Amino acid sequence: MCLTHERSTSGSPGHGGTITAAVRALIPSHPACAEALALAKSALPASILYHSLRVFLYAQAFLAIFHDADSVTVVPASTADTANDGAPNATAGAAGGSGLTTTRSASVVLFVACILHDVSTAADYDAVPERFEVVAADVAVRVLLAHGFPEATARDAWLAMALHTSPGIAERLGGIVRAVRLAVRADFGSHPPPATKMMPGGADTMDVIRWKLPRLEIEKDLGDAVVRQALVDAQKAPKSSWPGDLMRAKKENPDWEGVNKGF
């Protein structure tokens, strides 16, 4: 994993969107989550920010559905299961420090991966000569390591983010990698969303998704951002990749103003 990609201070700021109290209540209380959310909010337009939050909520449900929460290696309770006030999570350390996850720790790692999985489509990252999935994954690794998570945990998040546009691969890997991939697909309609009863918070969370996290023009905004970067640096859209598909569609329909036909 490359850890050299830092967010520059140049480029257009995000439009941020509004994080309501109902949405904040669904975000894990951990310094890593606070930093990741601040990065995303400062860099991304509301449409992509809200998409990333919906992906997190769906991904939590997919982890529960597949019983994969304990497949994520997490930091010991003294770090990952400590809330902002420094109080340890009462359920942490049940495995005697063996490295097995708790639900709360897995949720922290999952949130960082989901909220940042598209952060690198922001203009700040236009000059980084790698595809956006990889650049975003590097950013998440930096955040997780800075907050004391071990390399194995950072690697899980990195794989989930780097492979979230790779059909037929992420689905087979299980754990957080599969959860993020299926959550992205669910938000774009290519996979059934989790049943309401499997969502964290049930029907109330579904109401948050519907009313507090509007879709806006996510398909157009995300597709346009990926193409904009590829026009700056062709290395960001290699052939036989999703960014490459978007770039090819743009070249075939240069005057098209709607959602990219390769989306």
- Total tally of structural domains belonging to the chain: 2
User: What's the rounded Cα separation, in Å, for the pair 199 and 65?
Assistant: 9
Same domain assignment for residues 128 and 145 = yes
Q: How far apart are the first and last CA of the chain?
A: 28
Same domain assignment for residues 115 and 135 = yes
Q: Which one, of 245, 226, 247, 260, lies nearest residue 122 by Cα?
A: 226
Same domain assignment for residues 184 and 112 = yes
Contact of 193 with 206, CB cutoff 8 Å:
no
The encoded tokens of residue 130 equal: 């790698």
Do the domain assignments include residue 6?
Answer: no
Same domain assignment for residues 163 and 150 = yes
**Residue 134: domain span:** 21-216
User: What is the DSSP code string of 185-251?
Assistant: HHHHTSSPPPPGGGSTTTHHHHHHHHHTS--TTHHHHHHHHHHHHHHH-GGGS-TTSHHHHHHHHHH
Give residue 200's identity as a one-letter amino acid code.
P
Where does a domain end: 199, 216, 233?
A: 216
Same domain assignment for residues 140 and 200 = yes
Q: What's the chain's Rg over C-alpha atoms?
A: 18
Do the domain assignments include residue 155?
Answer: yes
Do the domain assignments include residue 9?
Answer: no
Do the domain assignments include residue 185?
Answer: yes
Q: Residues 190, 51, 118, 232: is their CA dihedral positive or negative?
A: positive
Do the domain assignments include residue 8?
Answer: no
pLDDT (tens place) for every residue of the chain, 263 residues total: 544 444 433 334 456 789 999 999 999 999 999 999 999 999 999 999 999 999 999 999 999 998 754 444 444 333 434 433 333 333 333 222 323 245 678 999 999 999 999 999 999 999 999 999 999 999 999 999 999 999 999 999 999 999 999 999 999 999 999 999 999 999 999 999 999 999 999 999 999 999 999 999 999 999 999 999 999 999 999 998 999 999 999 999 999 999 999 99
Do the domain assignments include residue 76?
Answer: yes
Same domain assignment for residues 171 and 222 = no
Same domain assignment for residues 35 and 165 = yes
∠ Cα 187 188 190 (to 5°): 105
Do the domain assignments include residue 146?
Answer: yes
Same domain assignment for residues 78 and 172 = yes
Same domain assignment for residues 141 and 252 = no
The encoded tokens of residue 12 equal: 């257009």
Same domain assignment for residues 159 and 102 = yes
Burial class (CB in 10 A: 0-12, 13-18, 19+), 89: middle
Contact of 28 with 82, CB cutoff 8 Å:
no
Same domain assignment for residues 150 and 224 = no
Do the domain assignments include residue 193?
Answer: yes
Same domain assignment for residues 26 and 155 = yes
Where does a domain end: 197, 216, 235?
A: 216
The encoded tokens of residue 127 equal: 């000059």
